[in-house]
Amino acid sequence: MEDHYKITSFCSIRDQTVYKDGEEYYTNTEAATVKDFAKGVYKHLALNYAKFYKMDDLCKLSFLASEVLSQGIEFPEDTALVLANHASSLDTDRKYQESITNREEYYPSPALFVYTLPNIVIGELSIRYQLKSEGVFFVSESFDADFILQYASILLETQKASQVICGWVDLDSHKYDVFLALISKTGNREANAAELNTIYSKL
Amino acid sequence: MAELQLELKEKIIEQLSLEDVEVSEIGDNDPLFGDGLGLDSIDALELIVMLEKDYGIKLKDPKEGKLIFESIGVMAAYIEKNRTK
């Protein structure tokens, strides 16, 4: 990636705690479920976005990380989204599977079904910020800063996007690991793989 | 009928995840879609599933939903007339 691109801001959500730019932003160790924790963050952020409650847990966590990331920052409509995870949409896939196992009571839920693909996260964020941009969601073994930045770099350098929200949004049952970074021309941290790995790993 | 209307409001709030909405905020004649509760097309599909699952009403044409789901009042009247359970 060219030198003039920076890591403008980043947000991580792990172990019932939200971090913004490496600093603890919100924690709630009393939350019994991911849903409860996410609701607590939503209330803390004083958001008013009814669609949040309809999202699955993967989308909720990604949405909340993006909201923290967006504080004081505008996302122009050509902000690209480059995301990845390991578990795909498995958490919701399991719930959907459970809901259709009883052939006597076979009532598949459309609201659950729409979340049985991980790239719905891209859709939810695009709707929220009115993005009309490139969006991609990869499923891979682990967070690969090199790969993510390489993809982001192509979008930026070919002027397909003016900035990129990239990261790792993984959820499987009660375990989650969410990390989003905004890459643009402003910021103090160089946008390179070593730096991205450092801020991803240190919390 | 009033009992069924209350039941529908409670079911809609629960099944459509309208967590910030109270039963008292939904008027019997308020539109459910558009400027009313702001429900969307996926919610409409959920309501069709709910009709079948809870009241034994199977809509042959999903377009019928547009009329049936106009408001709680219209929905309750339709269910009262067509329910099989």
Condensed to tens digits (0 to 9), the pLDDT of residues B21-71 reads: 999 999 999 999 987 788 889 999 999 999 999 999 999 887 888 899 999
> A54-68, A164-178, A180-194, B24-38 — which is least confidently predicted?
B24-38
Q: Supply the pLDDT for residue A2.
A: 64
Q: Supply the pLDDT for residue A105.
A: 85
Q: Supply the pLDDT for residue B85.
A: 85
Please tell me which of the candidates A54, A107, A110 has its beta carbon nearest to residue B17. Answer: A54
Task: Give the span between the Cα atoms of A101 and A199, in whole angstroms.
Answer: 42
Q: Is A32 on the interface with B (CB under 8 A)?
A: no
Residue of A53, A92, A127 to mutate when probing chain B, most B C-beta within 10 A: A53
pLDDT at A90 over 70: yes
Domain count across chain B: 1
Q: Is A195 exposed, middle or buried (0-12, 13-18, 19+ CB in 10 A)?
A: middle
Q: Supply the pLDDT for residue A3.
A: 65
Region A46-58: mean pLDDT is 94
Please tell me which of the candidates B19, B46, B52 has its beta carbon nearest to residue A111. Answer: B46
| Residue (of A69, A14, A18) closest to A41 by Cα position | A18
CATH architecture, range A6-201 = 3-Layer(aba) Sandwich (3.40)
Chain A CB contacts of B18 under 8 Å are: 50, 53
Q: Supply the pLDDT for residue B62.
A: 76
Whether residue A102 contacts residue A185, with contact meaning beta carbons closer than 8 Å, is answered with: no
Among A100-104, A127-131, A171-175, B30-34, top mean pLDDT goes to A127-131
pLDDT in tens, A151-160: 999 999 999 9
Asked if B20's CB is within 8 angstroms of A50's CB, the reply is: yes
| Residue (of A133, A139, A13) closest to A66 by Cα position | A13
Q: Supply the pLDDT for residue A1.
A: 66
Question: Dihedral (C-alpha) A76, A25, A121, A106: value to the nearest 10 degrees?
Answer: -150
Q: Can you give the length of chain A in residues?
A: 203
Q: Report percent pLDDT > 70 for chain A.
A: 98
Give the confidence band of B20 by pLDDT, cuts at 50, 70, 90. Answer: confident
Residue B15's domain is classified under what CATH number?
1.10.1200.10
* Spans of all domains in chain A: 6-201
Give the confidence band of A203 by pLDDT, cuts at 50, 70, 90. Answer: low
Give the confidence band of A109 by pLDDT, cuts at 50, 70, 90. Answer: very high
Q: Is B6 on the interface with A (CB under 8 A)?
A: no
Chain A CB contacts of B38 under 8 Å are: 50
Whether residue A163 contacts residue A8, with contact meaning beta carbons closer than 8 Å, is answered with: yes
Average pLDDT, chain A: 95
Q: Is B1 on the interface with A (CB under 8 A)?
A: no
Q: Supply the pLDDT for residue A167.
A: 98
Write out the residue range of the structural domain in which residue B78 sits.
Answer: 2-19+26-82
Q: Is B25 on the interface with A (CB under 8 A)?
A: no
Asked if A110's CB is within 8 angstroms of B42's CB, the reply is: yes
ipTM of the modeled complex: 0.84
> A130-139, A141-150, B34-43, B50-59 — which is least confidently predicted?
B34-43
Chain B CB contacts of A111 under 8 Å are: 16-17, 42-43, 45-46
Q: Is A50 on the interface with B (CB under 8 A)?
A: yes
